[in-house]
Structure 1
Amino acid sequence: MTTHPNGLRALSLATSYRSNRQDVVKDFYLPTFSVATSYSRAVGYFTSTSLALFARGLDTFTERGGNIRLIASPHLTEDDIVDIERGYDIRAVLTRATERELDADVPDTVLDGLGRVGRLIAEGRLDIKLAFVEKANRVGIYHEKFGVFRDAVGDLVAFTGSSNETLGGLAANFESIAVFRSWVDGDTVRALEYVRDFEDLWANQTPTLQVEDFPDITRDRLIKLGQERDTPLSAHDDALIPTPAVVNEVTSLAIPDWLTVRGYQRQAVEAWLGQRGCGILKMATGTGKTKTAMIAAAQIANLQRQREEPLIVLIIAPQKHLVDQWITEVEGFGVRPIAVYESSQKWVPLVEEQLSQARLGQRPVVAMVATNMSFAGEKFQSILARISQPLMVIADEAHNLGSAAYRSSLPSNATYRLALSATPERWFDDDGTDALINYFGPIAFELGLGEAITMGALCRYNYQPRLVELNDVETQLYADLTTQIAKCVAAGESVNDADPNSQLGYLLRQRAGVLGHAEGKLAALRMDLNARGHSWFQLVYCAEGTRPAPQGDPRGPNQLRDVMHLVGNQLGLAAHSYISDTPRADRKNLLRRFSSGDDLRVLVAIRCLDEGVDIPDARTGYLLASSSNPRQFIQRRGRLLRRAEGKDRAEILDYLAIPPADAPMNFDIERNLLTRELERANEFAKLSENYEATLDALRPLKERYQLMHL
Structure 2
Amino acid sequence: MTVIGAVAPTGLRSIALASRYRSDREDVVQSFYVPALSQAVSYSRAVGYFTSTSLALFARGIRRLADRGGKMRLIASPHLDAADIADIERGYELREVMERAIVRELAAADSERLLDGLSLVGQLIAQGVLDIKLAFVERDGRVGLYHEKLGILRDESGDLVAFTGSSNETMGGLIANFESIEVYQGWVPGDGSRALRLEADFDNLWANDTSHLQVMDFPAVARDRLIEVARDRPDRAPHESDEALTPRRAEVSHLVHLRLPAGFTPRNYQGEAVKGWLSNRGRGILKMATGTGKTKTALVAATHLSHVLQRREEPLVVVIVAPLQHLVDQWVDEVETFGVRPVAIYESSQRWLPAVEEQLTASRLGQRPVVVFVATNASFSGARFQEILARIAQPLLIIADEAHNLGSAAYRTALPTRATYRLALSATPERWLDDEGTAALTEYFGPVVYELDLGRAIELGALCRYRYIPRLVELTDAETILYTDLTAQIAQRLAAGESVTDDSDSPLGQLLRKRTGVLGHAAGKLTAVGQDVEQRTGAWFQLIYCAEGRRPGEPGDPPGPRQIEQVMDLVGNRLGLSAHTYVSDTPRRDRSGLLRRFGSGNDLRALVAMKCLDEGVDVPDARVAYLLASSSNPRQFIQRRGRILRRAPGKEQAEILDYIAVPRADAPVNFDVERKLLIRELARVNEFGRLAENYGDTLAALRPLKERYQLMHL
TM-score by length of 2: 0.65
| Aligned twin of 2:464 | 459
Deviation at 1:500? 2.9
- Offset from partner CA, 1:280-316 (integer Å, 9 cap, x none): 0000000000000000000010011011010000000
> Hey, what's the Cα distance between the residues in 2 that align with 1:289 and 1:603?
24
Match of 2:559 among 555, 576, 596: 555
- Tell me whether 1:670 sits opposite 2:670 in the alignment: no
**Secondary structure in 1 aligned to 2:326?**
helix
Deviation at 1:517? 0.3
In the TM superposition, 1:132-171 aligns within 5 A as none
> Hey, what's the Cα distance between the residues in 2 that align with 1:516 and 1:534?
27
- Tell me whether 1:259 sits opposite 2:267 in the alignment: no
| Aligned twin of 1:359 | 364
- Offset from partner CA, 1:346-390 (integer Å, 9 cap, x none): 211111111111112221111110111110111100000001110
- Tell me whether 1:618 sits opposite 2:622 in the alignment: yes
Q: Is the 8 A contact 1:281 1:419 kept in 2?
A: yes
| Aligned twin of 1:318 | 323
- Tell me whether 1:418 sits opposite 2:423 in the alignment: yes
Q: Is the 8 A contact 2:252 2:367 kept in 1?
A: no
Q: Is the 8 A contact 2:176 2:255 kept in 1?
A: no
- Tell me whether 1:387 sits opposite 2:380 in the alignment: no
- Offset from partner CA, 1:37-73 (integer Å, 9 cap, x none): xxxxxxxxxxxxxxxxxxxxxxxxxxxxxxxxxxxxx
Structure 1 vs Structure 2: percent identity of aligned residues? 67
The verdict on how the C-alpha distance between 1:21 and 1:259 changes in structure 2, with shifts beyond 3 A counting, is: closer
* Paired residue type of 1:590: L
- Offset from partner CA, 1:402-437 (integer Å, 9 cap, x none): 001100000111010000000000000001100100
Q: Is the 8 A contact 1:536 1:597 kept in 2?
A: yes
> Hey, what's the Cα distance between the residues in 2 that align with 1:570 and 1:667?
39
> Hey, what's the Cα distance between the residues in 2 that align with 1:684 and 1:555?
33
**Secondary structure in 2 aligned to 1:585?**
helix
| Aligned twin of 1:153 | none
Q: Is the 8 A contact 2:397 2:419 kept in 1?
A: yes
| Aligned twin of 1:690 | 694
| Aligned twin of 2:648 | 644
Match of 2:408 among 389, 399, 403: 403
In the TM superposition, 1:559-578 aligns within 5 A as 559-578=563-582
* Paired residue type of 1:633: F
| Aligned twin of 2:206 | none
* Paired residue type of 1:461: Y
The verdict on how the C-alpha distance between 1:247 and 1:540 changes in structure 2, with shifts beyond 3 A counting, is: farther
**Secondary structure in 2 aligned to 1:586?**
helix
* Paired residue type of 1:524: A
| Aligned twin of 1:592 | 596
| Aligned twin of 2:351 | 346
* Paired residue type of 2:516: A
Q: Is the 8 A contact 1:397 1:611 kept in 2?
A: yes
The verdict on how the C-alpha distance between 1:242 and 1:310 changes in structure 2, with shifts beyond 3 A counting, is: closer
Report the RMSD for the aligned CA atoms in angstroms.
2.5
> Hey, what's the Cα distance between the residues in 1 that align with 2:502 and 2:595?
37
> Hey, what's the Cα distance between the residues in 2 that align with 1:270 and 1:655?
41
**Secondary structure in 2 aligned to 1:393?**
strand
Deviation at 1:503? 1.6
| Aligned twin of 2:109 | none
Deviation at 1:673? 1.1
Deviation at 1:344? 0.8
> Hey, what's the Cα distance between the residues in 2 that align with 1:508 and 1:676?
13
* Paired residue type of 2:316: L
- Offset from partner CA, 1:645-693 (integer Å, 9 cap, x none): 0000000000000010000011111111111111111110001000000
Q: Is the 8 A contact 1:610 1:635 kept in 2?
A: yes
In the TM superposition, 1:236-635 aligns within 5 A as 249-495=254-500, 497=501, 499-635=503-639
Q: Is the 8 A contact 2:291 2:463 kept in 1?
A: yes
Larger radius of gyration: 2
- Offset from partner CA, 1:144-193 (integer Å, 9 cap, x none): xxxxxxxxxxxxxxxxxxxxxxx99x9759xxxxxxxxxxxxxxxxxxxx
The verdict on how the C-alpha distance between 1:330 and 1:626 changes in structure 2, with shifts beyond 3 A counting, is: closer
**Secondary structure in 2 aligned to 1:505?**
helix
> Hey, what's the Cα distance between the residues in 1 that align with 2:642 and 2:590?
23
The verdict on how the C-alpha distance between 1:518 and 1:242 changes in structure 2, with shifts beyond 3 A counting, is: same
- Offset from partner CA, 1:260-286 (integer Å, 9 cap, x none): 111000000000111110000000000
* Paired residue type of 1:265: Q
Deviation at 1:22? 6.2
> Hey, what's the Cα distance between the residues in 1 that align with 2:359 and 2:28?
20
> Hey, what's the Cα distance between the residues in 2 that align with 1:415 and 1:254?
21
Question: Tell me, which stretches of 5 or more residues in structure 2 are unaligned?
Answer: 1-26, 36-170, 178-247
Moved more, 549-558 or 463-472: 549-558
The verdict on how the C-alpha distance between 1:22 and 1:250 changes in structure 2, with shifts beyond 3 A counting, is: closer
Q: Is the 8 A contact 1:317 1:370 kept in 2?
A: yes
Q: Is the 8 A contact 1:250 1:336 kept in 2?
A: no
Runs of 4+, deviation exceeding 4 Å: 19-24, 170-173, 246-249
- Offset from partner CA, 1:423-452 (integer Å, 9 cap, x none): 000000001100100000000000000000
- Offset from partner CA, 1:129-149 (integer Å, 9 cap, x none): xxxxxxxxxxxxxxxxxxxxx
**Secondary structure in 1 aligned to 2:548?**
coil
**Secondary structure in 2 aligned to 1:488?**
helix
**Secondary structure in 1 aligned to 2:701?**
helix
> Hey, what's the Cα distance between the residues in 1 that align with 2:583 and 2:389?
32
TM-score by length of 1: 0.66
* Paired residue type of 1:528: D
Q: Is the 8 A contact 1:498 1:504 kept in 2?
A: no
> Hey, what's the Cα distance between the residues in 1 that align with 2:406 and 2:639?
17
Q: Is the 8 A contact 1:626 1:656 kept in 2?
A: no
Deviation at 1:256? 2.3
Deviation at 1:526? 0.6
* Paired residue type of 2:411: Y
Deviation at 1:248? 5.1
Q: How many aligned positions are there? A: 484
* Paired residue type of 1:361: G
- Offset from partner CA, 1:477-512 (integer Å, 9 cap, x none): 0010011111112212345x5743322211111110
> Hey, what's the Cα distance between the residues in 1 that align with 2:274 and 2:284?
10
Q: Is the 8 A contact 1:515 1:626 kept in 2?
A: no
> Hey, what's the Cα distance between the residues in 1 that align with 2:346 and 2:388?
14
> Hey, what's the Cα distance between the residues in 2 that align with 1:436 and 1:541?
30
> Hey, what's the Cα distance between the residues in 1 that align with 2:314 and 2:516?
53
- Offset from partner CA, 1:236-279 (integer Å, 9 cap, x none): xxxxx989xx9954322112231111100000000011111000
The verdict on how the C-alpha distance between 1:256 and 1:248 changes in structure 2, with shifts beyond 3 A counting, is: farther
> Hey, what's the Cα distance between the residues in 1 that align with 2:304 and 2:630?
42
